[in-house]
Amino acid sequence: MIELTTVPADEAIVIGTSTGGLHALQTVIAGLPLGLPAAVLIVMHTAEGESLLPALLARVARMPLRHARDGEPVLAGRILVAPPGQHLMVERTGAGCRAVLTRGPKENYCRPAIDVLFRSAAAAYGPRATGVVLTGQLDDGTMGLLSIKTCGGRAVVQLPEDAVAPSMPASALQHVDVDKVLRLPEIAGALTQMVGGAVPAVPAATPTPEWIQLENRYAGKGSDMDSLARIATPSTFTCPECQGTLWEVRSPGLKRYRCHTGHALTEQTLASLQDRLVEDALSSALRALHEKEKLLRQMAEDAVQAGQAKAALDHVQQAAEAQRSAEVLHRLITARHVADGALESA
């Protein structure tokens, strides 16, 4: 019987994924050996509520695997998974690190968010952090991976052509100097070879960049307006989650925004959320116009029964106007859907 280590992890592998992530994680996790001399921490975008992800991954894992618990030590040879609705971070405490769970502001409209885990690992482990970006939509994970590289760590990305959803890997490749680009079956073997050996040489006194420190604070204990002003400048955009002013973060890589509440969005995620808001607003307007038409026709019938001919005519005319407006809006919504479909198939 092999005894499990209780040694604090000197190295950490952090993995992020979204759409198509279950199969991708199962493939990678199944190839990691028992006794791996590194901790493995995972964020997969999930909805709030009970999650079966650890149980599904444990079926193929050789390493012990479960949801992370707030404050527990991060140990070598163990796999921790971010619970639904909570950011998973790592924080250095003396000789080792501990897991930290927070309900901090969403980043890229996600909690847990990949960038949060990766960024905290960059600060806690420096050159002994390895980030892995797998299949997923949009670009969560790109800035976190850049954080890891900025602090001397290593970056591994799934080959976009091999991913169910190539957007996240493609974004990482576009903005980060990646060490390895691999197909799923190759990733576990590469990670096993990378940990426990030599790491890239970095100056011992190199401090963690301020933007990483302050953004970690936002995801954890929170920050303030003065701190945000040190790393960002006000923009003309509004946070789609809290309607506060978005500030453009002055950092390398992707153009990103934060509000005073702490919500963080890449430019691409912000555009996606704005598109969703437009769609919701158009749908609400169309529903309101249909209800208005129905109400006015009902009012016209009531007016006829009451012998109020002029009022009945006014209501019929207003109902017809609402009907025409609804038809115009319906054509606009249909045209948007057709255009979106054409872009997706292009």
31-57, pLDDT tens digit by residue? Answer: 999 999 999 999 999 988 888 999 999
The residue ranking higher by pLDDT, 113 or 200, is: 113
pLDDT score of 238 more than 90: yes
Q: pLDDT per residue over 139-197, tens digit each?
A: 999 999 999 999 999 999 999 999 999 999 999 999 999 999 999 999 999 999 999 76
Identify the pLDDT of residue 282.
Answer: 92
pTM of the model: 0.87
Identify the pLDDT of residue 45.
Answer: 96
Q: pLDDT per residue over 5-30, tens digit each?
A: 678 889 999 999 999 999 999 999 99
Q: How far apart are CA 27 and CA 230, in angstroms?
A: 42
Identify the pLDDT of residue 49.
Answer: 84
Burial class (CB in 10 A: 0-12, 13-18, 19+), 96: middle
CA 7, 9, 10, 11 torsion-angle sign: positive
pLDDT band at residue 2 using 50, 70 and 90 as cut-offs: very low
Does 167 qualify as catalytic in the annotation? no
Q: What percent of the chain has pLDDT over 70?
A: 93
Catalytic residue among 67, 87, 139, 140: 140
Tell me the backbone φ, ψ of residue 128, rounded to 5 degrees. -100, 25
pLDDT score of 227 more than 90: no
Helix, coil or strand: residue 234:
strand
Mean pLDDT of the chain: 91
Catalytic residue among 18, 120, 167, 272: 18
Strands 245-249 and 232-238: antiparallel
Q: How far apart are CA 86 and CA 316, in angstroms?
A: 53
Does 115 qualify as catalytic in the annotation? no
Does 140 qualify as catalytic in the annotation? yes
